[in-house]
Structure formats: structure tokens, C-alpha cells
Structure 1
């Protein structure tokens, strides 16, 4: 978008020498950049090859217009520029023909394949002799253009030398980006670094080609960048006169460009006299101010930055004003919600304390007295004894539910202490304890070794205990019970799993497994409160991961989870 904007600006200034060639250069760079973006985001080999081909065409446009621009700017263009341009275009035309017929002969790109990656797959191919020829041609023109600019910069003096150096920097930036790519030095997943340097290079060229604006205080490519920036920008010289201002600032003070430029700041911004008194002589500051703008109370961030000449002499100040009222409102809302959350957490802690003390006491009494009565059954009818047993069982079940609620609540409030955790060793210890507690059972269990992660050891043990105990519980009716803890990788991410061949479940209801107190099996089949998997999910979420389950009735279940990092 920057290249297209600069091209439009250059077209409006086409009466300036070399501006037309610069327009073609910017359009070619924009085409190259868009081809690069669409190649990067395309998922198919054919699509990536298509956009890669377009980038080669754009490269020919860029390098040819680049060289033509350099010759025209330095006055070295041949007497017959049309004939010269046709001769310069012969190799790109032949190369384009070979590129778009490559599927029939394979001379240009012998091999092409995709390397999976995140977030985008990467198109990779061997460089054929023909590709190297295109690079030699492109860099030959590029270095030739740089060479004539170096000669011009050495011969010129003063401002004209500065102009030549700026344009030289602008043309060299994409060359450096392309060189990094050929040297296999890239930025993360980006294969081609050159498109990232086009906007930087074009800003230098725009600055050098169209020179400076009034009072020697120069925003780079002002008509493109300053005009569209969302921040109010004001430039004031040594005499405190306004020498530049953008539309956002004009809208803020409700004045036109002609009413402000060249005027003393005290006159141009008379309605902000208090701010002028505060920042009138300040050279550098960044602060926040608040006040009424019309009928609305607004918040602003004010940043004053000094501007210096090339000899480091102070030239003036640039003032940027950003309306941060919406951000402040969001901060206030966030602060209020945080306060409400703290209150809610305090109430939750009070509730937890009430549950753990006030509710447990009567439950203990109910369970204790029912136990005593069951011990003295003389003269008690069978129905009465049955009622007592049911009271005792319900009391015990209620105690388990309360314990589960407390455990679930504590998981959300517990501060995570991350250390290196050996999940393999932890799983072996848990399974060994289960086997020791139930020696009559024969379970074939296996644990993959060397699985270490960063996490809270106590919470991760709770995850493994819940999942492995479930596996142990739901395989009790299998003659050859199997439980497995393992690890696999998908798209570069580690996925941990615990799998068994037990009762399983209906996959349609898999999401209900992680809802507190939801159970997919009857209590007379398998005991439990329905809190364990909800606890597992909260712990995994607090570790930045996710958890899900797969299963089939009578064929077992598998629980998968990931951890952040």
C-alpha cells in the first residue's frame, strides 16, 4: 500500500525529472509485494508457483525501471531511449515466456515442493541455471544503477550530493533484501526479504527526488505519510510559528490550513492557551492531559519531539497529539471489572470456607448418627435399616460432591509455580500406586519415557491422577485391561494422551465430560462425582493448553491434552 501511495504521489509530480520512471518502479514493487503476500498465504503448490511466477515478472519490471530511472536521473540515458528500452526488455520477455511454459520443459524450475510450516507453508525449489541467469541480469542492472549513482554522488556537492545519496540508499535497500534472500538469511517464515525493504527504499527516493518542503523542517514523503497518519501532528519552528500541520490536527482545532501555516502558535491555538503556557518552551516531553473539547471531556497524549538540522543545531519541535479518550474509558471499565472480580473472588472464598466448615459439620453428624443407629438394629424393621443405610450413603456422596466443589474452586485460584516436570515418571508412580491399592487386578499399562514439560507439578499430577484413575476405573470389567500414557506430534505441537480399552462413551456427548457434575455412566456402574474431568480442563486451560476426548462405547476412550510451550 505504501508503494502504491508513493506511486500516486509521484504521478502527481511527474513534471519532475525521472518521476515517471519512479512511478513504474513503485508499481512493479507493489506487484512484487502483492505476489509475495498471495504466495505466502496460498496453501497449494500450484497457487504458490503461480504467484511466484508473477514475482519474477515483477522483478523484471522493477530492475528494468530501476536501471532506466538511475540513467535518466544521472543524465546517462542514451540518445534513443525507446530503442534502448526495447533492447533492455528482450531478456525479460524471453524469460517470461520460459517461466510460463515451464510445465512443459522444466528448464526454469526443475523441482518444486512445499515445506509445511506455521503459520504458512513454504515453496521451495532448486535454482536452475536459468534462474541464476535471471538473478545475474537483475543484479547486473541493479548494481549498474547503483554504480552511476555513486559516481554522481561523488561529483556533486551540497544539497545535490545529499539528493543523490538519498536516492542511492533507496535503490540499495531492496538489493540488500534480495541479497539476504540469496544468502538464505530470512526473517522467520518469510522466504523473500526484498518485499519488506521496498517501502523503506521508496521513502528515501521520495525524499531525495522531490526534495524538501518549507522552513527546512521536512516530514519524509509528507503528502503520503503525514496526511494519513491518525495522530494530530504540528511542526513549530524556532520562532514558534506553525510551519506544518496535518488534517487530524486541523480538525481538532476547527481551522483551515491557510489560517494556521506561518502563524504564531499563540494565535493559531489561542483556545488552548493553558496548554501553550505549559508546553510553550518544552523541547521534549511525553505526557497525558485532560480537559473539555467542546462539550465532551477528553483525554490526550501529548508528545513533543525536538527537530535538528544536519549540523545538530536545534531547528524546531514536532508536536503529536493522540486522542486516548476511548483507551482511558476502556482502562476505567477494566479497572471497575477487575474490582468487581476481586469482590466476587472474595465472596467465593467466603463461600468455600462456609462449605468446608458449616456444611461438612452437619454431614458428619448425619453420617455418624446413622452409623451408630445401624450398629443397634434390635427392634428395627428392615425398611428402617434400609432407610438408615441410604441416609449414610447419601451423606457420604454429598461429602464427595462438596470436596469436589472445593477442589474445583481451588484450581482456579491457585497460583501456578512452573518448574520442569517429568510426566513419564509421574505417570509411572500413579499407576504403580493404583496397582498396589488393587493387587487383584491385572492391567497391562505402559508409559512412554522421557516426557518432560514446564508446568506446575502439583496441578499436573492432579491431571494425570484424574485421567489414569478414570482409565483404571473404567477398565475394571475388561479381562485384559490396557492403559497407555503416550506422546505424539502434529504440526510441530506436542500432544499428550492417555488411552484405555474400557467402557468408552458415546462420542456425541464428549463435550459433556468436562462439565462439572455431568456423568455419562450410572452411579451403580461406576462411582464418581463428575468433577474430575472438569478439574482437568481447568488445569490444562490455566497452562495455556486444551483437552479433548475420543471414545466408542465398549471400545475404550482416549484423552488428549496440550500445554503451552
Structure 2
């Protein structure tokens, strides 16, 4: 190869060198948003330019057709990766993106197949010939309808991508507008060179100017990559909503540099975006009252800050959220500051109100408790006034029942129900006629039947009262017996409520220990023997054993 030809190839070699330099730089930032796909886009360009050079220096029609085919195949790579890169880099919202990507494979795949099988159908190259014009010969052929269709498809994809980039240039920060402008220029230049060649406009000695326009585009990309830090400082989670937020928000990348900031945060900082974007967070927030600089090494945190403005205490809540890319890799952090001054003031007022309410509730509770006690005592007193013979009986059986319950380990809530039920155990007798209730002799069967109605009367009287729902078990069931021979329901064993089983023992003990109109008090030993005999018949045997042990200890 002559010296003149080598000198002529230097610009082409420079174009490849620039592409390789960009490839290396992009690979070092491959984890940045869109960088990995962009790497494949530049690789496709590099292969295309390399094929163009090899076609230029190749001799003979067959060799030139081989390298022409290589260029068409290499072109498929940027054609596939450019739209993907643009969508990822701009965060363009695309529905059914997976389906669209699969569809985008159809044209390049079909065309590449035709290129590889050209010898069998000749649908790509019409009338190919080698034209001698200058230092290097050129391959010339008529564009078939398939080639023209594929070319128009390439232009369409490129224009769509450029439209998305132009739309994304509506950024509030100049740095990102410049970044996108350089990417747009880098995409348009190779397309422009190809379009000129297809239109018959030749700006270089060789017919295809795309290697030179690709070199110019890559120079612009290289300038954007190094000067304006494309991939190093990129907007994360950008959008109109972000700017509209009233909460101050700043986004840091993994190097703790500010990559995005909304208007609310800029207002709070009293700074311009150009002074903040790309700067270290510890420098930007050095004197900031919200402690962002203290949380640059955490993935998630939440804290509060208090500071004064015009002698007014301001409360802010700082929340740090991690940001991840599509590969679940952390790409940065969002710092969200929320003004909670009004909330804190409301909390203070609510605490005062709550204290006042608690005082009022406590006072009212005491009043209700006193009223409740007065009501129970009133019921018991009313019954004692009507039945003088049982005066003091309710008080004694209540004390005994509570002692038994305590020894059995009954809960405090249940103890309160036992106390209430014990006081009211004979309230049903209020409906018994005086001649039956005060009769001194033995009751007739009919009179006995009347007496035995008092548990049901008690149930009807007390069950509608909500806070006596459990206490009513004693007035209703204290005459039930363990063996099922009691009344009014004939319950047996543990069918009888525990409180009623406890009270039955206390009631019988007191009845046998004191004089009644129809029965004189028994001796203590006789009563004990009776309880032993009735254990498992009248009384729950377990409770009877506990009770007798208490009697033996002198607790009863």
C-alpha cells in the first residue's frame, strides 16, 4: 500500500480510535443508567466503520460485497440498542415495552437473514460493480425495494429516538439539557452522513461519508461524556411530579453528589440548580439545618430536625429512601424533607385535650362506679327490708364467695362479677308473695314451685342490663346442683357457670350457719359433714375440697 493511501486512511483510523476510546469510557460506567446498552450501540458503530474501511481497501467485487454485507449486519446492533438506550436513559414511560422490543427484532432479523443468504436470491445488491475513482475503488449497486424499505425503517427509528430526546430536553436544569443535546448530536451525525450518501451528495472523496460523520458525532459524544459528565451525573427519577412536590427533595448518587433537586429544596437552600447539581452533598448542605450531611452513608433512615426561623420553631422530618435500577442495584438515595410543624402543634394541642379528657373520664368513671355501687346496695337493701329474716345474708355470702374465688385463682374481672352477682343473688324473690316468702312453717308443693321461680325472675330483671351480663349467672344458676337435680334449668357438672358453683357453697354454708324461720342453725361439725356428703352431688367436688380446706384453716 502506497504512502499516499496510508495517509488517506488516517482520518478513518482516527474515527475508529475515537469509537474505541468511548467504548472504554462507557464500560467503566456500565452500571450507570443506560450505559451498558449504550456500550453496545457504540460497538455496533465501531464495527460498521471498521467494515467500511475494510471494504474501501478490499480488491475485487466479491471482497467488497463481503465487507458491504458485514456493514449491514453491524448496523443491526445500533439499530436495536439505540431505542433501548433512549428509553432507559430518559426514563420514557413505555407500555408493553417487552412486546415492542420483540417486535423491533423482526425487521433487523429478516434483513440480516436476506443479507446472509444473498447468493441464493440476489434481493439486496442489484447490478453491483466496482467504480474506480481516486485512490480507492468504490462498490456501487442499485438499491432494491428491500434495501430502501430497510433504510426508511432505520431513519424512522432514529427520528423516533431523536423525538424522545428532544422531549426530554424540557429539563429545568441546564446541565441535563446540554447532556441530552450532545447525545442527540451524536445520534444524528451518522444518520446525516448516511442520508447524504443515499441522496447522491458526496462530501468526501469516497462515496460513503458516514465514517466521517460518525467520527464527528463520536467527538461530540466524547466531549459530552467528559465535559458534561454524561453517565456520571444523571437525573434519577426525574419528572413533573418531582418539581411539583411541596416537600423539599434532593437525590444523591452513590458518590454522594447531588444529581437532582427540586424547586422546594432550592428555595430552602437559597441556591440555584447550577450551583448545586454535581456538587458533593457535604459541601452543599454544610450549613443546612436539616442534617442531610449526617446521613450520606445509610440506605434508609428517618429522623427529625428542629430549628428557628423568626423566633418560631420549625419541625422537619427527614426520610432517606434508596433508589434502585432495573437490576435491583442501588443507584442513589432520595432525601425527602417534610414540614411537620403543624403536625407537632396539633400533637401538642391533642396532648392537652387528651389530658383534660382523661381527667373528665376518670371523674365520670368514679361517678359511675359510685352509682353502680349505690344501685347494687339499693337492690340488696330493698330485698333485706322485705325479708328481715335474711338481713346480713347477702353481705356474708358475698365475702365467702370472694374468698373461695380468690383461693381458686379467679381473675380480678371475674371477681367483680362474682361480687355483683352475690349481692343480687336473691333479687328474684322480690316477686314472691309475702305470705309465701314470710311463711314460718313448711312450704306446700305449690308454694315451693312459686319460690323456685325467683331465679328466672332475677334473670328477666337483670339480663337486659349490659354491665350485669356476667353477674346474672349467680342469681340465675345458684340453685343448680352438680348432679343435675337443681333448678331452674337442671344443669349438670361444668354446665353450671363457675361463679354459680362457687356461690352455691357460700350460700348453703351461710344458710345452715344461721337461724331461719323454718330451720335452726346447725353445728359447725354437722355442716362440714354435710358438705363432705354433698360433694359431687350438690357441690362441685373440686371447689368443695378447696372450701373445706379453708374451713379447716379458719379462713371461713
Say whether the fold is shared (TM-score over 0.5). no
TM-score (norm 1): 0.36
Q: Which has the higher strand share?
A: 1
Radius of gyration: which is bigger? Answer: 2
| Structure (1/2) with the larger helix percentage | 2
